[in-house]
Amino acid sequence: MITTPLLDKITDPIKLREFSEKDLQPLAKELRDELIQLVSQTGGHLGAGLGVIELTIALHYIFDTPKDRIIWDVGHQSYPHKIITGRRQDMQSLRQGGGLSGFTKRSESIYDPFGAAHSSTSISSSLGMSVARDIQGKDYNIIAVIGDGAMSAGMAYEAMNNAGVMKNKLIVILNDNDMSIAPPVGAMSAYLAKLISGGTYRGFRNYAKKIIKYLPKGIKRILQKVEGHGRSFFTGGTLFEELGFYYVGPIDGHNFNHLLPILRNVKSHHDGPILIHIVTKKGKGYSPAEDSEDKYHGVSKFDIVTGQQITKKSNIPSYTKIFSNQLIKEAEIDKKIISITAAMPTGTGLDEFQKKFPDRYFDVGIAEQHAVTFAAGLASDGFKPFCAIYSTFLQRAYDQVIHDVGIQNLPVRFAIDRAGLVGEDGATHAGSFDIMYLSAIPNFIVMAPSDELELARMVKTAINYNDGPIAFRYPRGNGIGINIPEDIEPIEIGKGRLIKEGSDLIIISYGTILKECMFALEKLNKDKIFPTLIDARFAKPLDTEIIAKYIKSHKFIVTVEEGVIGGFSAQVSSYLQSNKDYYKNNIKCKNITLPDRFIDHDTQDNQIKLSGLDCETIFKTVKEMLNDT
């Protein structure tokens, strides 16, 4: 059992600021131990939080939070921040229904001023806040903490470019956990960083600027370059200087003797935006995380001593694994298959593809827009790119999906992982909109498998389809236990399948929600109600043939999908409105979709129930529909 006498005194950052500096290092040890203990019991994001323990303490120690605002990019690293901002007692509820979010969340705490939970947004949002502050004539600091991974996204540079021109007071901390803390990031670097971040140097620099502006242009340019490149010789900040930021660093992000004086210096910095480059170690202080390839980015519950993750044992592979296995199998035959991920190799299963075909695997970083257009370029030259991106992340590349793929009718294959509700990651990571936003685009084939065999067949279908873009969505989690035979056939484009023929109504299911529909069908059968159940497979092109066949003899239609209104149901409704039998037979139609609200973090099963997509709600909906006649 760990003891935390210092941490026990902290109910909010005000209490932290009462500590002496010599208490901060032992406090960091306690906070690190607490975080390991906590996440071992709840699961969640660990490595990123371990890497920012000292930074988190230093920021709340130096700055006057919550008046001064800290914006954590993505929020994976915000657990230590939550612990010392009054939420320690609730951390056991992390990522559980009704509990704390795994990301920063505005409605959760005054210490969370922004909570996007998608990467690379912190600088943009912080700049917006700085403008709002200045318009109101207020005076407080805004600090954006962004990781080196998030800096691979174009949005971060767009924001920096804008901030550099606007010259608002803004502090950006680049948390670089991708480089080792080598000697250049030691004492000399810290001394120089302290020197150039201090008021004396900045005052001299500003005085020199006033003199320089009276000199001839040629000499002025030379002196400006000498000053900038002189600091960059030690610090490597040329890129950020060119974007208009005053650069300080790199410094050791685990050393309070380096962090505290520099943060004190920049707190009083008023001459435009400033970037502090700190170097940290992801997973710091816990050897299983430090030694792990992914630094324990996201973990299930685990044994602290061994680091062994405790997972529910299942012989049923995940949908992600089924996709990965089938793509690898097909790529052994077809040399034109190429896989693309946007910084999620493990999450999309493409890490296994990389091992087999390193020359045909590309991780483009957190750059979904680039990933899509990059894939379009490959497709234009006859290759078969598979763009494997989470549904919620593909939203960030919607313009490219339309303009660079759709309009040009290029055969890019979209493997859309984490489609539908995703459990503990909550609303920010739920794939709620892809059916709607892809079905709206001309030229697109939009598919969804109902089980793992159907997914494997859709991978093959996508490989064989060369007439335009094609997408298939699949959920987080395991399948239902269907074995994939060695030889599988592709699916005919636009062809659904009949699951069960009945007489009382038609239930048309789209995607893996078919499982709930089948449970509902069993309950209805016991009540002497016999639906015709159809697995649509395609939202676009819709299998109008099978629908036309059954609306001749049925009076009621229910569609079910794990997506928002305007998706699959809209495709069905549009078709029905063009069919004379729909009006002639006075057919009634009911669409069951995700509700018009964001679904908070919980288990996937509970989210399905809260959304009204569970078998019990489907059963009740059908009963009410039939009883209303």
| Residues annotated as part of the active site | 282, 368, 396
The confidence band for 203, taking pLDDT boundaries of 50, 70 and 90, is low
Residues of the chain with CATH 3.40.50.970: 1-67+76-102+282-310, 319-473
Q: Which of 170-174, 237-241, 369-373, 456-460 has the lowest mean pLDDT?
A: 237-241
Whether pLDDT at 535 is above 60: yes
* Residue 434 to residues 15, 26, 74, 251, 298, Cα–Cα distance (Å): 46, 48, 21, 42, 24
pLDDT for res 114? 93
pLDDT for res 11? 94
Please provide the average confidence, as pLDDT, over all residues in the chain: 89
Averaged pLDDT for residues 219-234: 48
Residues of the chain with CATH 3.40.50.920: 497-627
What sign does the CA torsion over 156, 139, 238, 198 have? negative
For residue range 308-332, list pLDDT tens digits in order.
Answer: 888 777 789 999 999 999 999 999 9
- Kindly report the backbone phi and psi dihedral angles of residue 90, in degrees, each rounded to the nearest multiple of 5, phi listed first: -100, 0
pLDDT for res 237? 61
pLDDT for res 182? 37
Q: Which of 143-157, 334-348, 480-494 has the lowest mean pLDDT?
A: 143-157
The confidence band for 18, taking pLDDT boundaries of 50, 70 and 90, is very high
Query: Which helix H or strand E contains 384, and what residues bound it?
Result: strand 384-390
CA–CA separation, 283 and 25 (whole Å): 17
Percent above pLDDT 70 for the chain = 90
pLDDT for res 308? 83
Choose the CATH number for 1-67+76-102+282-310 among 3.40.50.970, 3.40.50.720, 3.40.50.1580, 3.40.50.1260: 3.40.50.970
Lookup result for tokens 């980015």: 297
In terms of pLDDT, which residue wins out, 457 or 581? Answer: 457
CA–CA separation, 225 and 373 (whole Å): 36
For residue range 471-517, list pLDDT tens digits in order.
Answer: 999 999 999 999 999 999 999 999 999 999 999 999 999 999 999 99
Tokens of 582: 């729909």
Measure CA of the first residue to CA of the last residue in the chain; give whole Å. Answer: 64
Neighbour count for residue 484 (Cβ, 10 Å) = 16
Averaged pLDDT for residues 175-192: 51
Averaged pLDDT for residues 383-401: 97
pLDDT for res 152? 84
CA–CA separation, 391 and 537 (whole Å): 18
pLDDT for res 236? 53
Percent above pLDDT 90 for the chain = 71
Neighbour count for residue 322 (Cβ, 10 Å) = 25
For residue range 409-454, list pLDDT tens digits in order.
Answer: 999 999 999 999 999 988 999 999 999 999 999 999 999 999 999 9
Whether pLDDT at 558 is above 90: yes
Q: Report pTM.
A: 0.86
pLDDT for res 238? 72
pLDDT for res 218? 57
For residue range 35-55, list pLDDT tens digits in order.
Answer: 999 998 888 888 889 999 999
The CATH number of 319-473 is 3.40.50.970
User: Which CATH class, in words, describes the domain spanning 497-627?
Assistant: alpha beta
pLDDT for res 170? 95
